[in-house]
Chain A
C-alpha cells in the first residue's frame, strides 16, 4: 500500500494496542527479584569476613529446597486429582433432578468453598486419626496424606462450582435437542453436555491448580516437611543469621513464581482460545 500522501489526515490511524498483562515477559521481573535478593545481603556483607556470603550458603541448600519444592508439587497434583474426582461428582449432584441430592450437594459445596483453606487443613490434620484399622490391617495415615485430603476439600468445592457453572452456561437448546433425539438423561450428559463443558472448564480449572499450588505451603504450618519447613530448618541450621533470611525466602518466592507464572500465562491463552463468541 502506498502511504505517501500530502494529507497526513488520510493516513490510517496507527493502531494502539493496549498493554495487557500478557505482554510482560520474564526479563521484566527477573532483575526485580534478583535485586530483592541481593540488595539485603549486600547490606550485611560488611558484618563478618570469615562467614560465607549469603548466596554461597543458599547455593549449598538449593538441592534440599528443590526436593522440598518437588514434594509441594506432588502434594498439589495429588490434591488436584482427588479434588477433581470428588468435585465433578459433587457438581453433577448439584444439577441432579433429585431434590434432596441437589440441596445436599449445594450445601456441601458452599460449606467447603466459604471456609478458609487453613482452617480446613487444620480440620483434616487434627480430626483424622493417625492410623486406620480396617479388618485388622493397620493403615498408617502420614501427615502428607492428611495434608492432601485437607487441601483437596476446598478444591473439591471449587471444582464443583466450575462444573455446575459450565453446565449451566450451555444453551438449554442442547438439552432439548438431545431429548428430541430420544437420548436418555445419562446419554445426554455423557455424550452431549460434558464434552462441550470440558472446553469451558479448562481455563478456570488450570487457574484453580495454580491457586492450589500456592496453597501447598500452608502444609508447613501443620508440620509437613515441604519447601517452607525445609527453609525454616535450613535457616536454623545456619545459626539464624539475619542476612540469610531475605535470600532464602526470596528463593522460595522465585521458585513459586517460576512455576505459577507460566501457568497464569497459559490460562490466559486458553481463555482466548476457548472464548465463546456470541
Chain B
C-alpha cells in the first residue's frame, strides 16, 4: 500500500504535482456558483450574504415559500414545473424518434435527392435560429396558438441538427448488421429500434441531452409566445418572479435550484455517453 503510494508520488516531479493540484482546484472553483446557489436556497434570506458558505440555519422554507406562498402571488411554480416537464418531454421524444428514422433514411437508404437533402440540412444549420423568432411569432399568432403549450412544442418537434448528427454516426454501422436485419425480413421499425439505435447510443444520448437542455432552458421563445403566468414554463416564470420579487433572494435561488436540478441529474447520469459523444461531434 505504502509502496504503491510512493510510486504514485514519484511518478511526477514536485512541480508536476503542484500543477495537478492547481488544475483540480480550478475545476472545483468552476463549481462554486452551483455550491453557492444550493447553500443560498437552503438559508433564510437575511443570512445569505452574511457568513460563509456552510454557516447559517439550514431550512427548506424557501422551497415551501416557492410552492405555497408564491402561488398566492400569482406565480404557480408547481404548475410551471409540470409544464416544463411536459413540453421538454414531448419535444425530446419527438426529436429523438423523428431524427432516428430520418437519419437512417439519409445515411442508409437510397432514394432520389438524398445528397441534396443532406446539403439542405447543412445549409439550414448555418442560418442562426434567432433570426426566425419574430416571423415564428407571426406564424404562431396566425395559427391561434399564442399562450398555448403547442406554441412551445410544435416548432421544435423535429431538428435538422439531430438528423444530421445521427446520420453521421449511422453511416459507420457495418453493413453486415443491416444485411442480417434484411435477411430476417425486419420491418423499418424493427431495423431502426432493434439494430440502429442500440449501436449508436452515444450520439443518441448527445442529441437527447442537448435537445432536453435546450428546450428546458429555452428563454427567449417562451418569453415571447407565453404571456399568461398560468401557462409559463419554469425558466420564464422564474425570471418574471425574480424581476418583481428580486429581494426574495432565498426563494429565487430555490427556483434556480429547481431549474438546474433536472439538467445536472441528466448530465451526471449520461456523463460517460456525453464525453464519448462530445469526441464524436468534434471530429
Q: Does chain A bind chain B?
A: no
Binding site for A on B (CB under 8 A): none
Binding site for B on A (CB under 8 A): none
